[in-house]
Amino acid sequence: MSEVLQTTSPLTAKDFQTDQDIRWCPGCGDYSILAQVQKVMPTLGIPRENIVIVSGIGCSSRFPYYMETYGMHSIHGRATAVASGLKATRPELSVWIVTGDGDSLSIGGNHTIHLLRRNFDVNIMMFNNQIYGLTKGQYSPTSEVQKVTKSTPFGSIDHPFNPLALSMGADATFVARSMDRDPKHMRAVLMRAQEHVGTSLVEIYQNCNVFNDKAFEQLTSKEGRVANRINLVHGEKVIFGAEDEFAVTIESGEAKIAKRTDIDDSQIYVHDITRENPSVAFSLSRLSHGPYGPTPMGVFRKVQRETYNEDVMKQIDFAKDSKGDGELDKLVRSLGTWDVK
């Protein structure tokens, strides 16, 4: 479990609610995500004063105002950088980053991939609505090709990011996906994310009912959630469909969908989140590019690696043991200074 201080007095979801008016559009998926986070937090056993929510810019980034914890509404794309500095200096805190697909994958893209590769012990909740909502409906880095928006009246010609594939490419140690319309699943995934020691990234499909309504209908409609949702469960065969008629196989390292009548049961992939090599998890993330057709949901990868904040502390302790505490003034006036006359 993440190395943070625990509380002895029980808390409830209400303890994490603030007196602030929630200013999201009626029907926004952010309401559901907020409610699930407020339900998860009391189960973690962490005092509110040891929890910090850091956000960037976007609709989702109002999150810190609505959580009765410490928080920071930072600048566009830099929530990951702020959270990194906080965790490096205060490793005992439970740090959560709230960001959107535009915030984290456009102006904040570099910060995101470097946080993932460094493996700070923080949790990222990436709200993916495939649109810029705060600025009233421009296409985002995850919008599909030919998406017609206010900034792409003839359709987007950009190839969209696949956030989970990008995370796997950065060698993220915990990668998962959930959605606003499945509260129970989201709570379970967020709890797994907090338990992980290292960077956890959870992509959350979030409906923007004003500027990109029904973007995830193929996964949320009565028929779609049965036909297209591929539930990933560690140690279990990956089977899906209204009558479990489809399965996922791995052929030469590539994930493929097959009819069960066309394959032997021994060919069905048994999900393993602990594979050190991310190639299979990467391939699973590419079974769908966006929520169109069969789409995997759940935890894709969970492996252990030294965290950046742990290594920083070890390096500091080593320096102190070998050279003493040091003096800041002496350091500032050491080599590399000069007088301007």
Query: Domain boundaries in the chain?
Result: 1-215+306-336, 228-297
- pLDDT of residue 202 exceeding 90, the answer is yes
pLDDT tens-digit series, residues 83-94 = 999 999 999 999
User: What homologous superfamily is domain 1-215+306-336 in, according to CATH?
Assistant: Thiamin diphosphate (ThDP)-binding fold, Pyr/PP domains (3.40.50.970)
Q: Give whole-number Cα distances, 36 to 195, 214, 274, in Å.
A: 16, 21, 26
Q: Give whole-number Cα distances, 76 to 6, 95, 127, 212, in Å.
A: 32, 18, 15, 21
pLDDT tens-digit series, residues 47-68 = 999 999 999 999 999 999 999 9
Quote the pLDDT of residue 328. Answer: 87
Picking from 5, 13, 79, the residue whose alpha carbon sits closest to that of residue 71 is 79
Share of the chain above pLDDT 90, in %: 89
Element (H, E) at 190: helix 183-195
Contact 121, 307 (CB under 8 A): yes
7: pLDDT confidence band, cut at 50, 70 and 90? low
Quote the pLDDT of residue 1. Answer: 44
pLDDT tens-digit series, residues 92-124 = 999 999 999 999 999 999 999 999 999 999 999
Is 235 exposed, middle or buried (CB count within 10 Å of its CB: 0-12, 13-18, 19+)?
Answer: exposed
Average pLDDT (293-309) is 96
Mean pLDDT, the chain, whole residue set: 94
Please tell me the pTM assigned to this model.
0.93
Q: Any residues with CB less than 8 A from the CB of 289 and at least 6 apart, and which?
A: 160, 162
